[in-house]
Homo-oligomer: A and B are copies of this chain.
């Protein structure tokens, strides 16, 4: 039994949002508010920046029903950031400031809700606090639509995006086939290095209404072969539906998105800001076939479509936040809450909790196994479908008002000491 640690907690959200990241935040906030060892629950406005800026929000002053609406409110309700901490041995200014704020509010628990980069932040903060002997338990709560966190079976946020993508692919498939004239449609799906989201389009194909061709960044993309494949399908069926990851690249590593425009900006982590790939490929196919073409980018829609969220994802997201608090209070620190797949006695999918070392997760990436991609590199094998289906089950009965979703509106009252 660990020592009892009493004090306040901070929950921060970081990186790109998802449809269900707030369900995880709610798991943390609700569980922390109900825990006698946690004296105050603070939300950091815009992730670690909220700590640095002394901008903490007092979650205890929020209405309980409004907080519960976080279960189906997309985007990061507390605000997010893409702030990268320097290594503390290079520059410890930020770390000193974090310590100062943590001391000011007597913060003894820090929960950080994000992807690889956020786990890196978590890990660095924890290492510094240990180094200076400040007792504080640090837990990572995963989220990423990209599903690329290392060591966990899957990530909260992925399944809802996958469900939206599969559903939308089926709907677009039907729509793009209405005329008796030729039509080619290219769908651009998020995913720089990992093709998990684009692979979800193959679920639509499994149900007879999905893309003919699916390309992930795990395999090199050959434009000539692509044109050949698409042309053959178009000439046979008069239609061709293609799904591509934004991060597909040729064998030299050059992004296909850059074939269209050479000037691509980069974000604070050095990630390239992609876009326009669907249009680029649609134009290539138009020239090759003379067909009517359409490029569609799912853009932000795929990561914020809470109205199409997976119930399994919402429940698991909530659970990951809840478990993070329970574990921390019981003495655990420096772990990320991961998932392990299991089955019950009837062979039904079960999601088990697995604690993982933050330093193992930070900055590592999990890609789609190459053997889940077909030999030609232009579609997905059944193994992926079996992996993905249990995750996208169920539809959350969200609250509606006047025909539109009733999303949470927090008061966001700034904390004082």
B208 close to A167 (CB less than 8 A): no
Q: In the bound complex, what is the Cα–Cα distance between A74 and B174 (angstroms)?
A: 7
Q: Which residues of B contact A49 (CB under 8 A)?
A: 180
Complex interface: chain B residues within 8 A of A30 (CB): none
Specify which of B45, B175, B207, B308 is in contact with A75 (CB 8 Å cutoff): B175
Whether A177 contacts B75 by the Cβ 8 Å rule is: yes
How far apart are the CA atoms of A398 and B158 in the complex, in Å?
23
Bound CA span A35–B190, Å: 50
* A306-B308 Cα distance, complex, nearest whole Å: 11
- A170 within 8 Å of B (CB atoms): yes
- CB of A13 to closest CB in B, whole Å: 8
Is B403 in contact with A208, judged by CB distance below 8 angstroms? no
**Size class of the A contact interface (CB-based, 8 Å):** 35 or more
| Residues in B neighbouring A299, C-beta threshold 8 A | 294, 296
Nearest-neighbour CB distance to chain B for A44, whole angstroms, equals 11
Are B301 and A178 in contact, CB atoms less than 8 angstroms apart?
Answer: no
Query: What residues make up the interface of A, taking CB atoms closer than 8 Å to B?
Result: 13, 16-17, 45-46, 49, 73-76, 79-82, 163, 166-168, 170-172, 174-180, 185, 203-204, 207-209, 276, 279, 294, 296-297, 299-301, 303-308, 310, 389, 392-395, 400-405, 407, 409
22 A–B pairs (Cβ distance < 8 Å), ordered by A: A17-B174, A46-B180, A74-B174, A75-B174, A76-B178, A79-B179, A80-B178, A80-B179, A163-B403, A166-B403, A166-B404, A167-B404, A170-B404, A171-B300, A172-B304, A175-B303, A204-B404, A294-B300, A307-B307, A389-B402, A393-B403, A394-B403
